[in-house]
């Protein structure tokens, strides 16, 4: 049988165990480059200074960061925002994905010059190579060996960006691959409503203070957090109010405060050498002491702009325990000054002791959306069983005719007092006009606030009695004018805004209250007083003539 010729053995392909394609090699190179790039990301290299780290680990829902120039406040808050939107916050304050960040700047140039570069461009801080790795540059490192750090928010995480004006850097909206959305706003516009936020960052002073309240309202649904970083320009009452809240919480010593204030000093920045610090201090000193305090120390400089900078709660607050039973004695002379108004009606109650050593403001009325009927009810509740020497009113407000009834407010107020039988010794059911001389009455308030040689003062406010007056007097400012770009402070008070209670205080001080002994109360009237009054009334209804003869009819 013929055999089949042997077949040649097929060629066996070489083993693929050690074979890597060019595509795989290129892919691995890309992975290695990506890993090296991620190791170089700014958030991994960032090292906070001690005061910045205190800010980062604070769990308060509201944080205020005050600081002068180059104090490190903008970098700290920018890192906080970048950690939040990239899901890298080490303290777990924010959701890892699908969050909302709202950033409010002073205006659109501020967004383009500060916010966009610090978040999305290189150079928020500097880094240096240390062996085979990179780290944040430290004080003392050779600056020539350093380079700008990559952007705080890596480009790989940016999904989409929209602009108001791209070539100027006016960023409007950023969508990230983490699901977070960043919105940027200018405080020159109206605050948007209806959105929800996990973090809101206000940077520097605002043109419209209504942004603060609206932004705080946007945090409720997501239990978000609020951060405001600013140089203390002392122009914004909203910032002052938040700082006062933070100071009060600090005084109470709460373990978990709702709001906390941080102050970053220019001199505490170890990354600026001492020579440069000295140069800046000398430059700012040439502009005045207040400029140094604001830019170097991060302190509010309100002394030159406040109407009553000498007011001090430690001196001008009268403790309740110093009064018998915690109330004003009945033998003190009482006065009331009233600022009528519909939007806000304010009144302050003052009392002068027999020795006339001081005027004590012991109560207040502060009623929003007020009319004469509401005034009468509220005033009656405050004035019950009190004897007043005089009622003083802002007659300018009292002469603004009511559009509905066509009546004058001071007439309507007088009628309400008469209905409730509330009167004063001097003005009865009516009012004494307050002083129209604004410089004179403000000078009298300053004079009464002056601390005498024995440490006492002529004007005091009862502890816990007048919260609205205290709030206003701490923020009552002078008018400022701008000439050729330079701001000048005048001696006139700024009458716009909530200055109602403090102006009633001015009217009361301008009256220069004195002590007048109130009428003595001898208790209930004896029975014969009413009997005698009835007898006289009966006699008055009869003919008072006495005829000593017969009465006849008169004939033609």
The Cβ of residue 131 has, within 10 Å, a number of other Cβ atoms equal to 6
Enter the pTM of the model.
0.66
Do 389 and 494 lie in one domain? The reply is yes
Helix (H, G, I), strand (E, B) or coil at 285: helix
Do 74 and 107 lie in one domain? The reply is yes
Contacts of 114 (CB under 8 A, 6+ apart): 74, 105, 203, 204
- How many structural domains is the chain composed of? 2
210: which DSSP letter? H
Structure tokens at 28: 């691995």
Does residue 461 contact residue 470 with C-beta atoms inside 8 Å? yes
Given 272, 297, 322, the domain boundary residue is 297
411: in domain: yes
Structure tokens at 3: 């055999």
The pLDDT score that the predictor gives to residue 523 is: 55
Do 285 and 331 lie in one domain? The reply is no
438: in domain: yes
Backbone angles phi, psi at 523, to 5 degrees: 90, -165
Residue whose C-alpha is closest to residue 521's, from 333, 351, 330: 330
Do 215 and 328 lie in one domain? The reply is no
Convert 315-352 to b/e letters by CB count within 10 Å (16 or more is b).
Answer: ebbbeeeebeeeebeeebbbbbbbbbbbebbbbbbbbb
Given 267, 297, 327, the domain boundary residue is 297
544: in domain: no
Residue whose C-alpha is closest to residue 398's, from 387, 410, 389: 410
305: in domain: no
- Beta strands 62-67 and 259-264, pairing class: parallel
The pLDDT score that the predictor gives to residue 233 is: 66
63: which DSSP letter? E
Give whole-number Cα distances, 430 to 346, 374, 437, in Å. 17, 17, 22
Given 265, 297, 329, the domain boundary residue is 297
Q: What is the CATH number of the domain that holds 368?
A: 3.30.420.280
Does residue 470 contact residue 447 with C-beta atoms inside 8 Å? no
Do 292 and 191 lie in one domain? The reply is yes
State the residue for tokens 């205080």: 505
Q: Please, what sign has the CA dihedral across residues 273, 275, 276, 280? A: positive
Length reported for the chain: 556
Helix (H, G, I), strand (E, B) or coil at 113: helix
The helix (run of H) or strand (run of E) holding residue 391 is strand 388-393
Do 194 and 324 lie in one domain? The reply is no
Do 267 and 360 lie in one domain? The reply is no
Q: How far apart are CA 522 and CA 450, in angstroms?
A: 40
81: in domain: yes
Biggest alpha carbon distance in the chain? 190
547: in domain: no
Query: Residue 335's domain spans which residues?
Result: 313-510
Residue whose C-alpha is closest to residue 228's, from 218, 242, 245, 247: 242
18: in domain: no
Give whole-number Cα distances, 24 to 16, 20, 27, 343, 348, in Å. 13, 6, 5, 74, 83
Do 323 and 270 lie in one domain? The reply is no
Going residue by residue through the chain, which has 556 residues, state the pLDDT in tens, using 9 for 90 and above. 455 566 566 565 555 556 677 877 787 877 777 777 778 888 998 988 888 899 999 999 999 998 776 767 889 999 999 999 999 999 999 999 999 999 999 899 999 999 999 999 998 998 888 888 888 888 778 888 889 999 999 999 999 999 999 999 999 999 999 999 999 999 998 999 889 999 999 998 888 888 998 999 999 889 999 999 887 765 667 887 888 888 888 878 888 889 998 988 766 666 666 666 666 666 656 655 566 556 655 556 565 678 888 888 888 999 999 999 889 999 999 999 999 988 889 999 999 999 999 999 999 999 998 888 999 999 999 988 889 999 999 887 766 666 556 678 888 889 999 999 898 988 888 899 998 898 999 999 999 999 888 888 999 999 999 999 998 888 888 877 766 656 667 778 887 778 899 999 999 999 999 999 887 664 566 676 677 778 777 776 555 565 666 665 655 4
Do 292 and 332 lie in one domain? The reply is no
Does residue 500 contact residue 400 with C-beta atoms inside 8 Å? no
Do 353 and 432 lie in one domain? The reply is yes
Do 139 and 112 lie in one domain? The reply is yes
Q: How far apart are CA 112 and CA 243, in angstroms?
A: 28
Helix (H, G, I), strand (E, B) or coil at 488: strand
Do 345 and 292 lie in one domain? The reply is no
Radius of gyration of the chain (CA): 37
Q: How far apart are CA 309 and CA 443, in angstroms?
A: 13
Q: What is the CATH number of the domain that holds 84?
A: 3.40.50.300
69: in domain: yes
- Beta strands 344-352 and 181-186, pairing class: unpaired
Does residue 390 contact residue 335 with C-beta atoms inside 8 Å? yes
């Amino acid at each position: 049988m013929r055999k089949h010729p042997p077949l040649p053995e097929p060629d066996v392909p070489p083993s693929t165990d050690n074979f890597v394609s060019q595509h795989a090699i290129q892919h691995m190179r890309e992975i290695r480059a990506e890993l090296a790039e991620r190791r170089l990301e700014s958030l991994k290299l960032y090292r906070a200074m001690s005061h910045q780290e205190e800010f980062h680990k604070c769990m308060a829902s509201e944080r205020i960061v005050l600081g002068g120039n180059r104090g490190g406040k903008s970098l700290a808050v920018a890192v906080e925002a970048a950690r939040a939107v990239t899901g890298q916050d080490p303290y777990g304050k924010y959701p890892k994905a699908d969050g909302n960040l709202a950033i409010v700047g002073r205006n659109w140039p501020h967004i383009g010059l500060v916010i966009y570069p610090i978040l999305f461009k290189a150079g928020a801080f500097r880094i240096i190579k240390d062996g085979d790795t990179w780290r944040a540059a430290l004080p003392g490192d050779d600056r020539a060996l350093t380079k700008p750090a990559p952007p705080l928010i890596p480009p790989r995480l940016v999904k989409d960006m929209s602009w108001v004006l791209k070539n100027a850097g006016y960023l409007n909206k950023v969508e990230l691959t983490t699901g977070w959305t960043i919105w940027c706003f200018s405080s020159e516009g109206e605050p948007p409503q209806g959105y929800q936020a996990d973090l809101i960052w206000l940077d520097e002073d605002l043109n419209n203070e209504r942004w603060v309240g609206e932004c705080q309202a946007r945090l409720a649904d997501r239990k978000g957090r609020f951060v405001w970083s600013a140089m203390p320009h002392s122009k914004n009452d909203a910032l002052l109010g938040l700082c006062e809240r933070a100071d009060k919480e600090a005084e109470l010593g709460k373990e978990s405060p709702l709001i906390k204030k941080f102050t970053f000093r220019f001199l505490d920045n170890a990354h600026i050498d001492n020579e440069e610090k000295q140069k800046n201090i000398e430059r700012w000193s040439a502009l005045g002491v207040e400029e140094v305090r604001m830019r170097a120390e991060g302190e509010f400089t309100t002394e030159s702009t406040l109407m009553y900078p000498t007011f001090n709660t430690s001196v001008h607050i009268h403790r309740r325990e110093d009064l018998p039973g915690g109330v004003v004695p009945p033998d003190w002379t009482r006065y009331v000054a009233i600022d009528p108004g519909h939007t806000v009606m304010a009144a302050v109650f003052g009392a002068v002791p027999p020795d006339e050593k001081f005027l004590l403001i012991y109560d207040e009325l502060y009623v929003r959306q007020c009319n004469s009927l509401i005034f009468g009810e509220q005033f009656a509740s405050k004035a019950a069983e009190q004897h007043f020497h005089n009622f003083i009113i802002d007659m300018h407000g009292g002469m603004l005719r009511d559009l509905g009834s066509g009546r004058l407010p001071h007439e309507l107020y007088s009628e309400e007092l008469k209905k409730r039988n509330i009167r004063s010794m001097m003005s009865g059911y009516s009012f004494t006009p307050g002083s129209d001389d604004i410089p004179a009455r403000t000078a009298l308030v300053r004079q009464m606030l002056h601390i005498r040689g024995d440490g006492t003062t002529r004007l005091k406010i009862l502890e816990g009695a007048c919260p609205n007056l205290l709030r206003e007097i701490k923020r009552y400012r002078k008018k400022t004018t701008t000439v050729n770009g330079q701001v000048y402070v005048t001696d006139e008070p700024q009458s716009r805004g909530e200055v109602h209670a403090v102006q009633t205080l001015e009217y009361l001080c301008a009256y220069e209250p004195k002590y007048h002994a109130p009428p003595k109360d001898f208790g209930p009237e004896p029975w014969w007083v009413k009997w005698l009054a009835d007898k006289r009334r009966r006699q008055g209804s009869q003919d008072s003539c006495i005829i000593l003869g017969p009465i006849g009819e008169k004939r033609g």
